[in-house]
Chains A and B, each alone.
Chain A
C-alpha cells in the first residue's frame, strides 16, 4: 500500500503540490494523469526521495520515505524519471545490470546475471544488448531504462511517462507487460500517462492531478466520462464505449 498524507510542496514561492493525500492499494496498476505542470513528476520525485519532503508523509507499506535508508528504499521501489537523459557510453546490458546494484552492491551473483538476462529478453533488448546506449534510438533507450527499473525487482514501480518515444507496437506491449507483472507478481505500478486511453485500457484505477491537487481518483469505468475529462483538461471530448472499454476520442 502507498500512503500519501498531506503532502504540500513549494518551489521557491510557487505552490506545486497542495495538500495531496492519496492511498493506493497494493498490487495493480494506477495511472496518474493530468495537464502539463500539474505536479505529477514532482509527486513522483517526492515519493522516490529524489526531492526532500517539505511537509506531510509518504509510506510504502511499513517504510516511511525520509526515515528509511536510501539502499532499503532502492529494494522497495524503482523509479523511471521523465527526463532520464543518461549520457554515459555504456552498453544496454551494463545499464540493465545496474538495476541489480541495490541487491548486490557491486558483486553480481549468477542469480543477478540471470535476472539481467531475463530483463533483456522481457523488453526485447537481447539483440541490442551489446550496443552503447548513446547509439540507440530514443525508443530503444527508453526500453532499456524501463528494463533497468524492472531489473531492480521491487514491489513498487514508479514510471514517469514511460511511453515517451515508443511506437505504438512497443507502447502497447509495454502496457501489456506491466499488466502481466501486476497480475503475476502482485507488483504495484504507478504510471504517469498522457494518453488517457492507455489508462482506460490497462489501469485498475486512475488518479487525476490538477494544479497540484487531487482532482479525481476512480476506476476507469467511472473515470472516463466527458464531464470528468472536461473538468480535468478543460476540453470537450467525446467518450465512446467499445466492448467493455471506454475510449476518449480526443484526437479529433
Chain B
C-alpha cells in the first residue's frame, strides 16, 4: 500500500541557495561600482590594495551594512514568527523597533552623555521588554484569528511609538525618530556601521538554538513534553530579536517588511525547520536589502531613495501576493 515518493525538498533548497548566492555576488559587484564618484572596479581595488580610497572608506562599508542589516533583520523576523507562532509578525510592526526607539530617546534625555554602549544596552533592553509585552498581549487572543495578532501588534506599536514621539518632541529630539525609523544606507562610512557586525553575530548565535526555536514553535505543550525549557527558549529568542532590532535602529534605521516578507517567502518553499531554513533566510534577507539599496541609488541618480522605502513598496506587493496566492489547505 505505501507508495514511495522521492524526497524533493532538499533539491529545492540547494537550487534556491545556489541561485541566490549567484545573484548576491552580482549585486555586491554592482553595489561596489556605482556611486556619484565615477570610478572603475579595477581602480577601486587597486586603491584598496594600498589601504585607502573610496572602496574601503565608503562603498565596502555600505555594501556590508546592507547585507548585515538585511540578513540579521530577516533572521530576527523568522525567530519572532516562530516563537509567536504567527506568520504575520515582525519586529517593525509589533512594537519591538518602537520600544527600542523609546529606550534610546529615554536614555538620551536622562543621560545625554551616555556612550554608545550604554545606549545600545538600554535600547536592547527596551526592545526586549516591548517584545515580552507583545507576547503577553497576544496570549490573550483567540488562536482561531491569526490576523488579530499583527493587528494587535500594530496598535501596540502605535501606542509605544506615540509615547516616544511625544518625549522626542518635548525634548527636541525629533530628528532622531526620523533617522531611527527610516532605514537608509547613504550615511554609512567606515567607523559608523560596525555595530551591525554585532547584530550579524547575534543572529548567527541564534543558529545554535535553531532546534530549540523550532520545537518552541510547535507550541508550549509539545515543547514541554519534549523536555524543552519553554520560557527560557522564548526569552532567549526574544533577546536575540531585541538586540538585532535595537542595533539596526541605531546604526542605519529600521527597515520595515524585511523581517516579514523574507521569512514568508523562504518558508513557503523550504518550510519552517529553523536549522535548515535560517541560513537561507539570512541570505535572502541580505540579497533583498542590497537589491533595494542599489535600486534606490540608481532610480533617481544622482539622488537617492532610502532602501527602506524601496523595500517597503516592493515588500508590500510581494507580501500581498504571498497572502493571496497561498495554496489552499486541506
Taking Cβ atoms with an 8 Å cutoff, the residues of A that contact B are: 45, 48-50, 70-75, 78-79, 81, 84-91, 94-95, 98-99, 101-102, 106, 124, 126-130, 132, 134-137, 152
Contact = CB atoms under 8 A, between A and B. Distances in A.
Nearest to B268: A89
B174 interface: no
Contact of B224 (A70, A84, A87, A132): A70
B308 to A, nearest CB: 28
10 contacts: A45-B221, A88-B272, A89-B271, A91-B273, A98-B215, A98-B226, A106-B211, A132-B271, A135-B329, A137-B330
Contacts of A89: 267, 271-272
Contacts of B41: none
A71 B227 contact: yes
B271 A49 contact: no
B211 A130 contact: no
Given A70-B224, A88-B217, A90-B273, A127 B5 contact: yes
Contacts of A90: 214, 271-273
B29 interface: no
Given A127-B4, A130-B5, A91 B271 contact: yes
Contact of B2 (A94, A95, A124): A124
Interface in B252-309: 267, 271-273
Contacts of B1: 124
A74 B217 contact: no
Interface of B: 1-5, 7-9, 82, 85, 143, 211-212, 214-215, 217-222, 224-229, 267, 271-273, 329-330
Contacts of A102: 226-227
A232 B125 CA distance: 55
Task: Name the 3 nearest CB pairs between A and B, nearest first.
Answer: A74-B227, A130-B7, A71-B227
A137 B329 CA distance: 9
Contacts of B8: 130
B329 A134 contact: yes
B5 A101 contact: no
Contacts of B4: 126-127
A217 to B, nearest CB: 25
B8 to A, nearest CB: 7
A84 B221 contact: yes
B2 A130 contact: no
A104 B211 CA distance: 11
A101 B227 contact: yes
Given A89-B267, A135-B330, A50 B225 contact: yes
B201 to A, nearest CB: 20
Nearest to B211: A106
A84 B212 CA distance: 18
A78 B221 CA distance: 11
B219 A85 contact: yes
Contacts of B5: 127-128, 130
Output the residue of A74, A90, A99 with the most chain B CB within 10 A: A90
A102 B217 CA distance: 16
Contacts of A81: 221-222, 225
Nearest to A106: B211
A70 B229 contact: yes
A94 B273 contact: yes
Nearest to B209: A106
Given A89-B267, A126-B4, A152 B226 contact: yes
Given A86-B219, A89-B267, A127-B5, A79 B225 contact: yes
Nearest to A51: B221
A89 B221 CA distance: 18
A74 B214 contact: no
B203 to A, nearest CB: 18
Given A94-B273, A101-B211, A73 B227 contact: yes
Contacts of B7: 129-130
Given A50-B221, A88-B217, A126-B4, A101 B226 contact: yes
Nearest to A132: B271
A91 B7 CA distance: 10
Contacts of A87: 85
B150 to A, nearest CB: 15
Given A86-B218, A101-B211, A127-B2, A78 B225 contact: yes
Contacts of B271: 89-91, 94, 132
A88 B216 CA distance: 10
A201 B118 CA distance: 68
Nearest to B3: A127
A91 B273 CA distance: 8
A91 B9 contact: yes
Contacts of B143: 85
Contacts of A152: 226
A71 B229 CA distance: 8
A45 B224 CA distance: 11
Contacts of A88: 82, 85, 214, 217-218, 272-273
Contacts of A94: 214, 271, 273
Contact of A48 (B85, B212, B225, B273): B225
